Amino acid sequence: MSMTFSGQVALVTGAGAGIGRATALAFARQGLKVVVADLDPVAGQSTVDLLHQAGGEALFVACDVTKDAEVRQLHERVIEVYGRLDYAFNNAGIEIEKGRLAEGSEAEFDAIMGVNVKGVWLCMKYQLPLLVAQGGGAIVNTASVAGLGAAPKMSIYAASKHAVIGLTKSAAIEYAKKRIRVNAVCPAVIDTDMFRRAYEADPRKAEFAAAMHPVGRIGKVDEVASAVLYLCSDGAAFTTGHSLAVDGGATAI
């Protein structure tokens, strides 16, 4: 299996922390030029600094993925600086829901769908023509195990991740003959800043989260990053339209 990359360009949204930052670092360590996109300029630039420290080449672009103009400008900037785009990891997402379906608000619905669904759609809208013109490439979208089944008290979030999988599969079929592969990663509970903020006040919840996974622990950001790199690599040349669970066996139960 080949995981070799050479002189190529990768774009990572939501790269200011967590899975996005880990994947940006993983791309840089493989010798790729990395465009780091995030809503938070301080976090995004911090990721770029880490990539530079690791010997990589990187560029930060501030972007709100819910805004068409900003997403268009992000991709224009990629081409302006590097002249090409080979891989895109559409990872920007939010999770703010904590109640049953009937307890949700319209504001929560709009915010979650805006980032998690519209953001992925807008990014692919501008990425796909670039990849077509270039003769191929790969896109990976961040879905979730919540997009593979039910997620009680997270119904809007689950719906958004089911939608990401629908976008992924549809784009994969539409562009399969253009040598463009489109896949998704579906993480379970991963050790990110978001996870720590949610569970640090109650260690019992953290223990419960670990027990949800048959392997007996939560996942690591580097493990998701490895899955993204695999889906972008030539080793996954015959894989498209796939939703890869990175979940410690949780969906096998």
Model confidence at 1: pLDDT above 60 = no
pLDDT, tens digit, 9 for 90 and up, residues 62-95: 999 999 999 999 999 999 999 999 999 999 999 8
- Which pLDDT value is given to residue 207? 81
State the Cα–Cα distance between residues 184 and 186, nearest whole angstrom. Answer: 6
- Which pLDDT value is given to residue 223? 98
Task: Examine residue 201 and state whether it is found in any structural domain, yes or no.
Answer: no
Other CB atoms within 10 Å distance of the CB of residue 49: 13
Catalytic pick among 126, 157, 175, 199: 157
Task: Examine residue 251 and state whether it is found in any structural domain, yes or no.
Answer: no
Q: Which domain holds residue 99?
A: 9-189+221-243
Nearest alpha carbon to residue 32 among 91, 90, 71, 88: 88
Task: Examine residue 48 and state whether it is found in any structural domain, yes or no.
Answer: yes
Tokens 């990425």 -> residue? 127
Task: Examine residue 86 and state whether it is found in any structural domain, yes or no.
Answer: yes
Model confidence at 199: pLDDT above 80 = no
| Domains: count for the chain | 1
Tokens 């559409």 -> residue? 90
User: How would residue 2 be classed by pLDDT, with cut points 50, 70 and 90?
Assistant: low
pLDDT, tens digit, 9 for 90 and up, residues 152-173: 999 999 999 999 999 999 999 9
> Is residue 157 annotated as a catalytic residue, yes or no?
yes
Over residues 219-247, the mean pLDDT reads 97
Model confidence at 221: pLDDT above 90 = yes
Averaged pLDDT of the chain? 94
- The structure's pTM equals 0.96
State the Cα–Cα distance between residues 212 and 9, nearest whole angstrom. Answer: 36
Tokens 């048959």 -> residue? 214
- Which pLDDT value is given to residue 104? 93
Task: Examine residue 196 and state whether it is found in any structural domain, yes or no.
Answer: no
Find the helix packing angle between 119-134 and 155-174, rounded to 10°. 20
Task: Examine residue 84 and state whether it is found in any structural domain, yes or no.
Answer: yes
Task: Examine residue 51 and state whether it is found in any structural domain, yes or no.
Answer: yes
* H or E stretch covering 11: strand 9-13
- Which pLDDT value is given to residue 138? 98
Task: Examine residue 250 and state whether it is found in any structural domain, yes or no.
Answer: no
The CATH number linked to 169 is 3.40.50.720
